[in-house]
Amino acid sequence: MQNGSVIKRRDLLALIGTIAGSSAMYHAMTSLGFASESAYKGPLKLAGDVKGTSVLILGAGLAGMTAALELRKAGYKVQILEFNSRAGGRNWTIRGGDSFVELGGFKQTCEFEQGLYINPGPWRIPYHHRALLDYCRRLNVALEPFIQLNHNAYLHATRAFNGTPQRIRSIKADFQGQVSELLAKVTQQGKLDEAVTKEDQEILLQSLRAWGALDRDYKYSANLVSAEFRGYARDPGGGLTADPLPSEPIALSEILRSRLWRYLQAFARYNFQTTMFQPVGGMDMIGKAFAREVGDLIRHNAKVTQIQQNSSGVTVSYVDAAKPSVVQQATADWCICTIPLSILSQLPVDVSAPMKNAIDALPYAGSVKIGLQFKRRFWEEDEAIYGGISFTDLPIRQIAYPNYGFNRAGRGILLGAYLFEGANSYEFTAMTPAERVASAVEFGSKIHPQYKTEFETGVAVAWHRVPFTLGCSGEWTDAGRAQHYRTLCQIDGRIVLAGEHASDLPAWQEGAILSALDAIVRLHERVVRT
């Protein structure tokens, strides 16, 4: 603490995760009530006579299609109104030939080579998102590993190391090793006598030596022990060139000043721990799998303009994108609304004042993703980077490498930028798509000089300009959640909301699915009871 200030829980968790690793961080999160196993207990069993009750679902994203699948199975009459010409919502994959128009009228047509793609929305699935994984299994969605941590990817700081990117393994090993050396010195000096026994001190020294790759004198230095973690100056070989050479560690003071250590938490946080997954062929394979089950219930290109309710049912007005002058209506006994609150807050909706206040209170995070196609997979051919993410303090923030098509000849796709909130995301949102792509190429060349000669084409999605969401995801504050969240999730007359915004996992597909399951269980209980 400084100047009487109290360290925030988020900062405390980040510090624990950075210094002590993912295991310590997870236990800290659990003790603070932030992390736990998924609440998902398996497929729903909605028992009881639903008496032909009808439900109108607004939005064919994962929340809406989950609700439709389960409710129809339980005997409900279900229909879905969807704004887009496709199902899936933010579960979206862009491939060659796809076109889309953002607010402002900018149209992009993707020119990626066949078989290459980018996921502008969700792009990874943690192992503990049990509901989503179960639906993937039930709907026959094939999965493959998503590589979150690649020790051979880069950490980059503009003003450190003359702007030269550093391998993650080197920063991680050197930071961990030298912190271990400092702790070993404290332990040897007897400063821990009041905290642990002599036997515990000896065990602690052993663990620090193993964890930090320290030598027999408990020092972190250039030798073959530390090289096993940070990499070699000359790798082990064969024949007369077999002998490896150790590499020289980076001084702790340089690492601290570079602030590259802050990126290490990206691999320790609960939602980013291995194992992670992605669907084979693109994230929209999940949305397409749901659509195979409930696609016959979906009315596409239906833009909702008003939601009304009374004691006996719900009436929703909408227009067809092809005939926007003709207002149509859909009616049902109940309504599950999964429309993002950034859109819903602009519509006339018959709900209580507290519910309307909750809908209006939630801002949406800004996010930008840029996909870049290159003539060859130079990150693999030249730099031996297969999957994973490089982090930088440049405005593009992240470069992610594809987790499919490894070691093949020909073109490849990089996620050339992933900006989430902050000034840079708004700056890129204000650019034209062409300007975003050009900026991503310019900044990315600071890390990969091959960009300038290998780049071919790109697409850029700024979520605040995407018409069907006007933002990436709901961005709850602690105060906002405390004041409005429970109200937002209540059944208000004959309307209940669902989606990632109605979960404690905003921006995650798991949150959308869990919110839908919770909503339909409560709705079903009310239907059966009445």
What are the pLDDT digits (tens) for 475-524? 999 999 999 999 999 999 999 999 999 999 999 999 999 999 999 999 99
Average pLDDT over the chain reads: 91
Within 8 A by CB and 6+ apart from 383, the residues are 152, 448
Residue 7 has pLDDT above 60, yes or no: no
Q: 496, 511, 515: which is closest to 55 by C-alpha?
A: 496
Does the domain at 54-89+288-361+476-529 match CATH 3.50.50.60? Answer given as yes
Architecture of the domain made up of 169-251 = Up-down Bundle (1.20)
Q: Stretch 39-66: mean pLDDT, rounded?
A: 94
pLDDT confidence band for 466 (50 / 70 / 90): very high
Does the domain at 94-152+275-282+365-465 match CATH 3.40.309.10? Answer given as no
What are the pLDDT digits (tens) for 253-287? 999 999 999 999 888 888 899 999 999 999 999 99
- Bigger pLDDT: 334 or 225? 334
Residue 152 has pLDDT above 90, yes or no: yes
Tokens of 238: 């064969």
- pLDDT at position 432 is 97
What are the pLDDT digits (tens) for 361-415? 999 999 999 999 999 999 999 999 999 999 999 999 999 999 999 999 999 999 9
Determine contact, residues 182/204, Cβ cutoff 8 Å: no
* CA dist., res. 524 & res. 530, Å (int): 10
- Find the angle CA(137)-CA(405)-CA(411) to the nearest 5 degrees: 140
* CA dist., res. 222 & res. 226, Å (int): 6
pLDDT confidence band for 192 (50 / 70 / 90): low
Amino acid residing at 181? E
- pLDDT at position 269 is 87
**105-138: burial string, b at 16+ Cβ within 10 Å, e else:** eeebebebeeebbbbbbbbbbbebbbbbbbbbee
* CA dist., res. 214 & res. 216, Å (int): 7
Q: What are the residue ranges spanned by the domains of the chain?
A: 1-34, 54-89+288-361+476-529, 94-152+275-282+365-465, 169-251
Note whether 94-152+275-282+365-465 and 169-251 share their fold.
no
Q: What percentage of the chain has pLDDT greater than the value 70?
A: 92
Give the DSSP H or E segment for 27: helix 22-31
Residue 10 has pLDDT above 60, yes or no: no
DSSP 393-422: SSTT-EEE--SSSTT-SS-EEEEEEEEESH
- pLDDT at position 34 is 43
What are the pLDDT digits (tens) for 408-431? 999 999 999 999 988 999 999 999
* CA dist., res. 324 & res. 318, Å (int): 9
Q: What percentage of the chain has pLDDT greater than the value 90?
A: 79
Residue 195 has pLDDT above 90, yes or no: no
DSSP 116-132: -EE-SS---EETT-HHH
* pTM (predicted TM-score): 0.89
pLDDT confidence band for 86 (50 / 70 / 90): very high
